[in-house]
Amino acid sequence: MRRLQIIWILLLPFVLGRCYEDKGSYDYKEMNKPQVAGLEGSYAVGLGDELDIRPEITFPLNNDSGIKYEWNVGGKIISTEKNLYIPQYSGEIGTTYCSFNIINEAENVTYMNTFNLRVSPTYSVGWLILSEKDGNTSISYIRPKEQEKDGKAEYTFEEFPDAYFKNTGEILGKSPVKLMEHWCFNYSVMGEVLVLNGEGDCVELDGGALTKKVAVKQEFIGEAYPRGFKAKDATFSFNNSYLISEDGKMYSRKSEDVGNYHTGLYGQEPVYVADSLSIKFAIPAKFMNAYHMLVYDGYNRRLIWIAYDTYQPGKINPLVYAADPKFTNLGDMGDKDLVYCGYYKVSDFATSGYFALLKSDAGQYYVRDFKLYSYIFSAMVTDNYEMEFPGASLIKPDSKFLSLPLRKYFFLSSGDVLYYYDKATLEKAPKRYVGFDGVRITSIQSNKDNNQIAVGLENGKFYIYDITDKSLAGGEPQLVYEAETNFGKIVDVIYKYGTLLNYM
């Protein structure tokens, strides 16, 4: 029996082969599958910018007859050409799934080549310029583009002069004072831009479109400004925002929804703390890291810290701490007035570093470096140094100041000349960087990486300079860009971060 089983196993392939008879008739044809090169996995384009994608396509059979093309963006066919060229792209803002489809009608086959397209708003990241032009407030935008050429970064810039008026046909106000970008607690939402005016209304702008979101007076209870209110400064966290009037009064608003804008109202009565309060200016800092905001009470010559934490967000506190007698008490500066204070980034929890310029009643100037820790109910100051400023003779009533948050340089203007002071050397006097032939400097600001500085002039000219260590060491100013537009009398320049994620 075992011998019979073995015989059947050996004969089985031959039996099956005889039983199967292929009666079909087949025509085997080589597929003309295209090979696509030059198509990236993702593309980025600004709204209104040129979109130009030119893939290289080869066919194995060297035959492209019967071939059609489709560019599918988010489910919509926007072109049927081989190359995708749109002079001014107007699609949806954000990231969209796309495909470049090659259709072989003879084979009845579609070959899909997928990619992502990220579209940013027209006014996303760049420079905003606030100026007075023809008697009115004007806001303009400079959009930078960085590209690599021969292993080096090159910048090109596009100008959008008087952007608000061109977008809306409306006058933005009169007597411009200040610009400020701020965010709600949503990392991907575009920041809004507050425009402070001395005459007419102050306005909140959509940061991506530079169009009006709301007039600031509508954000007060009763949709009217408090009596005597004249905007001078502002400061924001996610939970609270504060407007400062020229008379030193500060008005607060609590957000009802930190993930959205305009969800609370400012009160008609100013905030109050012990010993009265007269705010001279707000001190910028990254409150998300510092867990506080600072304002300067000029009447009492003291710093006021505003809490940003889960226990008492928005609580306003006079700065009380055990002061070292070798340093000016920042909670009671006595015979000194705070002229300027800029923050710098530190890694400590709930802490920010600050570089301050003080002026005594006798007319002497001092520089002060300190760190401020604040959390829940207490604040603590760590002093680094306080000394007479070796560049005191350069300071004028209209001087502009900028301490870089990421680097150890302090820039100051003296009339028509820009100087910089190396905080690492301390005793050495500031060095001249660039002059403007008798035209007064009205605003200075750095970009996100602190490797460029923008300079706005009283005559409407706008410049961007390279301030890398290499450039400063070279001894000659390195001009990156000179705007073609004359923007009128420039009042303020800020670097626009766009989203909260980019700001952080």
Q: Quickly state the pLDDT bin for 315 (edges 50, 70, 90).
A: confident
d(CA 209, CA 330): 41
Sign (positive or negative) of CA dihedral 486, 488, 491, 496:
negative
Pick the CATH number of 35-120 from 3.40.640.10, 3.40.50.300, 3.40.50.670, 2.60.40.10: 2.60.40.10
Say yes or no to pLDDT of 347 above 60.
yes
Residue 130 neighbours by CB under 8 Å, 6+ apart: 137, 138, 139, 176, 178, 179, 195, 490, 491, 492, 493, 494
pLDDT digits (tens, 9 = 90+) for 396-419: 999 999 999 999 999 999 999 999
Q: What is the pTM of this model?
A: 0.81
Q: Quick one: DSSP state of residue 190?
A: B
> Closest Cα partner for 182 from 192, 172, 174, 190?
192
Say yes or no to pLDDT of 328 above 70.
yes
pLDDT at residue 8 in the model: 46
The strand pair at 109-120 and 42-46 is best described as parallel
Determine which helix (DSSP H) or strand (DSSP E) holds 13, and give its type and residue range.
helix 2-19
Q: Tell me the C-alpha to C-alpha distance, in Å, between residue 458 and each of 128, 133, 139, 196, 482.
A: 16, 11, 15, 19, 15
d(CA 350, CA 355): 17
Q: Quickly state the pLDDT bin for 457 (edges 50, 70, 90).
A: very high
pLDDT at residue 351 in the model: 87
Q: What does the H/E/C string look like for 471-500? A: HHHHCCCEEEEECCCCCCEEEEEEEECCEH
> Closest Cα partner for 126 from 99, 98, 146, 111?
146
Say yes or no to pLDDT of 390 above 50.
yes
Where would I find the H helices in 285-326? 287-290
pLDDT at residue 361 in the model: 97
Q: Write out the two tokens for 454.
A: 């923008």
pLDDT digits (tens, 9 = 90+) for 215-251: 999 999 999 999 999 999 999 999 999 999 999 999 9
d(CA 229, CA 37): 62
Q: Please, how many CA atoms are within 13 Å of residue 72, restricted to the half-sphere of its CB?
A: 16
More confident residue, 348 or 210: 210
Q: Quick one: DSSP state of residue 405?
A: S
Q: Write out the two tokens for 74.
A: 């988010």
The amino acid sitting at 45 is V
* Most confidently modeled range among 32-41, 236-245, 306-315: 236-245
d(CA 184, CA 192): 9
Mean pLDDT across 367-388: 91
d(CA 197, CA 130): 10
More confident residue, 330 or 22: 330
More confident residue, 295 or 276: 295
Say yes or no to pLDDT of 210 above 60.
yes
Give the 3-state secondary structure of residue 18.
Answer: helix
* Most confidently modeled range among 275-279, 306-310, 316-320, 353-357: 353-357
pLDDT digits (tens, 9 = 90+) for 112-137: 999 999 888 889 899 999 999 999 99
d(CA 180, CA 474): 33
Domains of the chain by residue range: 35-120
pLDDT at residue 366 in the model: 97
pLDDT at residue 310 in the model: 65
Cβ proximity of 303 and 297 under 8 Å = yes
Say yes or no to pLDDT of 83 above 80.
yes
pLDDT at residue 32 in the model: 67
pLDDT at residue 196 in the model: 97
Q: Which of 144-158, 246-260, 402-416 has the lowest mean pLDDT?
A: 144-158
pLDDT digits (tens, 9 = 90+) for 284-309: 888 888 889 999 999 999 999 998 87
pLDDT at residue 70 in the model: 96
Q: Tell me the C-alpha to C-alpha distance, in Å, between residue 402 and each of 51, 126, 283, 351, 475.
A: 38, 18, 12, 20, 20
Say yes or no to pLDDT of 74 above 70.
yes
pLDDT at residue 215 in the model: 95
Give the 3-state secondary structure of residue 432.
Answer: strand
Residue 94: φ, ψ to 5°: 120, -170
Mean pLDDT across 8-21: 44
Give the 3-state secondary structure of residue 167.
Answer: helix
